[in-house]
Amino acid sequence: MKKIPFVFLLLFAPQVHAGELEKLRINRAIESGLRIVQKGAENYPNNRECFSCHHQTLPMLAMREASQAGISIDEELMQEQIHFIRDYFEDRVESVTEGKSVGGRSLTAGYLLWSFELGGVKKDQFTDAFVSYLLHHQKKEGNWDVQTNRPPSEESKIHTSYFAINYMNYYARGESIEKKVKEATEKSRSWILGSKPYSQEDFNGKLKALIALDAPAQEIKKARQDLLQRQQENGGWAQLPEMESDAYATGQTLYTLITSIGSSERDAEFVKAIKRARSYLISTQKNDGSWFVKSRSKPIQKFFDNGDPHGKDQFISISATSWATAALAKSRIINTQ
């Protein structure tokens, strides 16, 4: 069936409620972004054999949220990502358990367990290995560190610590490991509470970490308010205070805000901020369905072309497209009127 252009609906369907038109705009943006990230995830194994946060975990997030919003996804592709990850680490499970053999260290381990949660993977010997890995890599101060500085995703100790706290607890099994995870979680508490966010990745990570730690309500409320106050005039968020808004920071923050609060707590200010962010994302989406973000990370590996939009900026841009798509799908729970 031939699709009716959205512009046609705007011009020739005045009887359609404004809220319904907004839903159509959101759905079209989600579907367009989904095509980009699914294609990127499908093509990635043709170019690399290693696990990738930007071409596996984040596209899986977009797919999961789109599916939960009632939009059809490639379910087989979702499971192929899990098989790819398992195959890559299959012969090093014992080494991972000992705290070795994970490039990207704690952040990679956290993203990997997140991928498993997105794919519905149950607790098993494989997830045990990565929980054990994270236990090995907690710093004496209580946090988890990044291996290299590749902004924006690989620069935040706070966000990395959130991944460790949340997914160790999610996948811990057995009395001995559960006890160790509980001790590690408690050890992280004072570090998280005392942390001073700077980047948007920091601010998002702190709010999520506080929730994962079941921190005092006033601490969570303050962290959420910090996010809202950093929203820029155009409705977006920036990676750093001195930068302009972009889809990576905006998509990640919008997703974080929506998932951090229950429906009964969404006041008028909160809903307004969500709608402004959603409008920013829809207005900055490219015609091909992607979002463009300029990379500020110095490459440490030889560049390869995965066939995604935006050339040498394609890895940050597919991450941004994933976050934006996931956030728009999640934002559908907010009244569009």
**Residue 225's pLDDT is what?**
97
How does 309-327 read in b/e, with b if 16+ C-beta sit within 10 Å? bbeebbbbbbbbbbbbbbb
| φ, ψ for residue 163, nearest 5 deg | -60, -45
Domain limits, the chain: 6-295+305-333
CA atoms of 129 and 118, how far apart (whole Å) = 18
CB neighbours of 130 closer than 8 A, spacing ≥ 6? 96, 102, 109, 112, 113, 167, 171
pLDDT in tens, 255-309: 999 999 988 889 999 999 999 999 999 999 999 999 999 999 887 778 899 999 9
**Is the alpha carbon torsion for 137, 140, 141, 147 positive or negative?**
negative
CA atoms of 123 and 229, how far apart (whole Å) = 39
**Residue 1's pLDDT is what?**
40
Q: Give the DSSP per-residue string, 233-297.
A: TTS-EESSTTSPEEHHHHHHHHHHHHHTS-GGG--HHHHHHHHHHHHHHHHH--TTS-------P
Size (the chain), residues: 337
Distance linking the first and last C-alpha atoms of the chain: 29
CB neighbours of 127 closer than 8 A, spacing ≥ 6? 113, 116, 121, 171, 173
CA atoms of 153 and 107, how far apart (whole Å) = 9
Q: Yes or no: say if 27 and 71 are a contact pair by the CB < 8 Å rule.
A: yes
CATH 1.50.10.20 fits 6-295+305-333, yes or no: yes
CB neighbours of 210 closer than 8 A, spacing ≥ 6? 192, 193, 219, 220, 223
pLDDT tens for each residue of the chain, 337 residues long:
444 455 554 555 554 577 789 899 999 999 999 999 999 999 999 999 999 999 999 999 999 999 999 999 999 999 999 999 999 999 999 999 999 999 999 999 999 999 999 999 999 999 999 999 999 999 999 999 999 889 999 999 999 999 999 999 999 999 999 999 999 999 999 999 999 999 999 999 999 999 999 999 999 999 999 999 999 999 999 999 999 999 999 999 999 999 999 888 899 999 999 999 999 999 999 999 999 999 998 877 788 999 999 999 999 999 999 999 999 999 998 875 4
Strand partners for 246 = 237
**Residue 18's pLDDT is what?**
75
CA atoms of 164 and 107, how far apart (whole Å) = 8
